[in-house]
Chain A
Amino acid sequence: MLGFHQTGFADLTLGHVVLICVGLTFIYLAIVKDFEPYELLPIGIGLILANLPGTGLLVQPQETGGEVGTAGLLGVLIEFGLLRYTVLPLLIFVGLGALTDFAPLIARPRLFLLGAAAQVGIIVAFLGALALGHFGIAEFGLEEAAAIAIIGGADGPTTIYVTSRLAPEMMGITAVAAYSYMAMVAIIQPPIIRALTSKREREIYMEPELREVSKTEEILFPIVCLILIILLVPRSAPIVGMFMFGNLLRVSGAVERLSDTAQNAFINSITILLMLSIGASMPAELVMRPETLMVLALGLVAFACGTAGGVLMGKLMKIVTKEPFNPMIGACGVSAVPMSARVVQRMGQEANPSNFLLMNAMGPNVAGVVGSAVIAGILLSVLG
């Protein structure tokens, strides 16, 4: 029988209790509210496991001096998957690439501009975080500012990768912020889109079906993107390389089983390991700091400015293109695939029941993923 001092209760602090409650809230949101369940459920369990005292689960191999059997399971995952080698967020991109259909972007390559414009949110949040650091309101340096700003890319694995390279102590917070805002796309984006567009603009009808994309184009696209983007921004290679490799598995038609595995079993297995590790890397002392609230606020600013940047570029493209162009599709440049494309489809049909913008919206949506990978590469080149 264990004495009281040998149980976890003896070492339980208020900080642990608060974070266990946060973990329980995540699990509630995932199961009852269907709020990003694939991410929040394992994050919630990781958070609870990491905050139950005396388990040894978080002991990282480097802390044990090589003594056999002393490292903890979550410590091993965090050290090798996130902190030291960062393999988990990168492997996720193989699955994401296999799930992505680039055809709407290949059919209208100029939609790349919307994906690029929406990255303005990252720049605004970066400058905002630097300003807070400069005026001594928060302890944000260049690396922390970059990690916060990348939340505006609305891409979870990119956020995790950049944070783990530049500001690993903030990883849990930025990851949760990115996934939370992606889950709230349907709440955050519509008021911004409405504020920046007139009813007449929202009614603009676009041909719902884009031109047929040939097999050759689909196969060449990931290969050309991989080589060109990596030559332009070499530090984007881990993300862009895995993303385009996954897409080639999908479109090649030659490796059906690999494509199927990447889209299902592989990405699901990596998601379990990655999200458990993310949940377990949220120490109480970090989460309880006021900077955490500032990270969440700046992440929201990044997301909102990205949406606005995309819509404003959409308005510019409406003026310069000959055929009808609905500027709302610019909002999808923030990525958040496919949630933001669905928001625009719904808003388009509300304004004009015969309007089906979904396919047009998917172009900037996938362009946004590539755009945030490129920005991540640039940030890592300059700061990493």
Chain B
Amino acid sequence: MAEHIVKAPMRGRVFRVHVETGSQVKERDRMCDIEALKMEMPIMAPVSGTIKEVCISVGQQIGGGDSLFVIES
């Protein structure tokens, strides 16, 4: 079992969250959408596994490098 922390690539606002703790994800599954400069961008799972922790909520402002999810693979 390995833990992967998915980090925010850039500043923005959490627009939608598609997974919750315990969700199974496959590599490239859409986990959340962030909004920056009025554009929505998907954050996809870098590995397949189970979501161990969701660190964000809809509407939250995030900075580049902030933790978004912890995936157990």
Nearest Cβ on chain A to B16's Cβ, whole angstroms: 16
Give the segment of B18-26, B36-44, B52-60 that binds chain A: B36-44
1/0 contact string of A350-364 vs chain B (CB within 8 Å): 000110101100100
Q: In the complex, which of the residues A345, A349, A358 has the most CB atoms of chain B within 10 Å of its own CB atom?
A: A358
What class of interface size applies to chain B in its complex with A? 10 to 19
| A353-B64 Cα distance, complex, nearest whole Å | 16
Within 8 Å by CB of A358, from B37, B44, B46, lies B37
Within 8 Å by CB of A208, from B9, B37, B46, lies B9
| CB-based contact B46/A354 at 8 Å | yes
Cβ of B11 under 8 Å from chain A: yes
Within 8 Å by CB of A349, from B10, B42, B64, lies B42
Complex: chain B residue closest to A341, CB-CB: B37
| CB-based contact A208/B10 at 8 Å | yes
| A341-B37 Cα distance, complex, nearest whole Å | 10
| CB-based contact A209/B11 at 8 Å | yes
Q: A208-B9, A209-B11 are in contact. Are A358 and B64 (CB under 8 A)?
A: no
Chain B positions within 8 Å of A101 at CB level: 37
Chain B positions within 8 Å of A359 at CB level: 10, 36
Cβ of A318 under 8 Å from chain B: no
Chain A positions within 8 Å of B44 at CB level: 353-354
Chain A positions within 8 Å of B28 at CB level: 353
Complex: chain A residue closest to B10, CB-CB: A208
Nearest Cβ on chain B to A37's Cβ, whole angstroms: 15
| CB-based contact B37/A338 at 8 Å | yes
| A182-B37 Cα distance, complex, nearest whole Å | 18
Complex: chain B residue closest to A339, CB-CB: B39
Cβ of A165 under 8 Å from chain B: no
| CB-based contact A354/B9 at 8 Å | yes
Within 8 Å by CB of A356, from B10, B38, B46, B65, lies B10
Chain B positions within 8 Å of A362 at CB level: 37
Chain B positions within 8 Å of A349 at CB level: 41-42
Chain A positions within 8 Å of B36 at CB level: 358-359
| CB-based contact A358/B38 at 8 Å | no
Nearest Cβ on chain B to A263's Cβ, whole angstroms: 13
| CB-based contact B42/A209 at 8 Å | no
| A345-B44 Cα distance, complex, nearest whole Å | 15
Within 8 Å by CB of B41, from A209, A338, A358, lies A358
| A88-B19 Cα distance, complex, nearest whole Å | 49
Nearest Cβ on chain B to A45's Cβ, whole angstroms: 26
Interface positions of B from 6 to 36, Cβ below 8 Å from A: 9-11, 28, 36
Chain B positions within 8 Å of A356 at CB level: 9-10, 41
Complex: chain B residue closest to A104, CB-CB: B37
Nearest Cβ on chain B to A105's Cβ, whole angstroms: 14
Nearest Cβ on chain A to B8's Cβ, whole angstroms: 9
Nearest Cβ on chain B to A187's Cβ, whole angstroms: 17
Show the binding face of B for A, using Cβ within 8 Å: 9-11, 28, 36-39, 41-42, 44, 46, 64-65
CB<8 Å pairs between A and B, sample of 8:
A208-B64, A338-B39, A341-B37, A349-B42, A353-B28, A353-B42, A358-B41, A359-B36
Show the binding face of A for B, using Cβ within 8 Å: 101, 208-209, 338, 341-342, 345, 349, 353-354, 356, 358-359, 362
Counting from the closest, the 5 A-B pairs by CB-CB distance are A209-B64, A208-B9, A356-B9, A208-B10, A353-B44
List 4 additional contacts besides A353-B42, A356-B9; criterion CB under 8 Å: A345-B39, A353-B28, A354-B9, A358-B36
